[in-house]
Homo-oligomer: A and B are copies of this chain.
Amino acid sequence: MFFALIKFIKNANIFYFSMKRKRRIKHIIQSQQFSRDFLESLFKEADKMRKIARRGRSNLLKNKVMATTFYEPSTRTRFSFESAMIKLGGHVITTENAREFSSVAKGETLNDTIKVMDKYADVIVLRHFQEGAASAAAAVSNVPIINAGDGPGHHPTQSLLDIYTIKRELGKIDRITIAMVGDLKHGRTVRSLAYLLTKFHNIRIYFVAPKVCKMKKDILDYLNKKGVHYEETEDLNKVLPLVDCVYMTRVQKERFKSKDDYNKAKGFYRLDKNNIGLLKSNSIIMHPLPRIDEISPDIDQDPRSAYFRQAENGLYIRMALLKKVLT
């Protein structure tokens, strides 16, 4: 299904332009759409945005309106987009629970909703509970759609801020060794990040997960095809000394069938004062947040703890994306 989607997307050709209104419309739908060139250019833009945001605001998008249309709540992601829009001089109309509060309840299709919203906004940031919602929206929209998460599907701005954080923190992406830790089976952030890493050279990945939530075969097959070296293990402490980056994710209790399994898994995957010493001094710790107990707050002050800087990078990446789709 993974590759079927990529194929569909290449055929549909919805990402980079549409001939409606006789101009190019760019949509941000999934990590798979980005080339290495796009990523490099986005990183440079994000660096500029950092300066703009710290200095004050830009007037670049002063005539633009962004609609944040969230069919499931995510205050963090929404605030990040809205702050990004404001810092570029733009304006925001917002709904934090469109599912309950909109015409969906009356039976309206997403297509119709989008075809009305694109009259009121210059860009639509869409969070939806159904996989494929964002690409369906892009197919009918007259303004750019940015996917802010479509259920179990994609969350491309998260993986862009992830890979930008690696670049910024480590100074490079080629030749890094990274551990992805936790619920690799259900976590869409690690799946997307693994995909994006194939665009870089000499990457080594350790997938650290309990048996019940190992990385799925579609991604492993894709890495094989692209010649990316990976290894699977259950032992976090063994890989800590080997990596440049450890990417922690929540181990979600509700996924586990037995309480024993859950507790054991949870035990393996905790970074704290006891094992952070195993990490190299110039390694970094990442986490998409929110965290529960997989990283102890005790180590938040450690310079290697990059997760709050990672959240901050989300602001600059989203500013850069808004600039790219709106100008």
The chain A residues found within 8 Å of chain B, CB to CB, are 56-57, 62-63, 65, 67, 69, 73-76, 78-80, 82-83, 86-87, 91-98, 100-103, 106-109, 111-113, 115-117, 119-121, 250, 289-292, 297, 300, 308, 311-312, 314-315
Contacts and interface: CB of A to CB of B under 8 A. Distances in A.
A219 B106 CA distance: 27
A103 B308 CA distance: 15
A161 to B, nearest CB: 11
In the assembly, how many copies of this chain are there?
A: 3
A101 B106 contact: no
A288 to B, nearest CB: 11
Contacts of A312: 119
A121 B79 contact: yes
B290 A108 contact: yes
Contacts of A292: 106-108
A77 B300 CA distance: 34
Contact of A79 (B106, B120, B297): B120
Given A83-B121, A97-B101, A311 B116 contact: yes
Among A56, A103, A119, A121: residue with most chain B CB under 10 A? A119
Contacts of A83: 65, 93, 120-121
Given A67-B79, A86-B65, A95-B75, A119 B311 contact: yes
Contacts of A106: 250, 290, 292
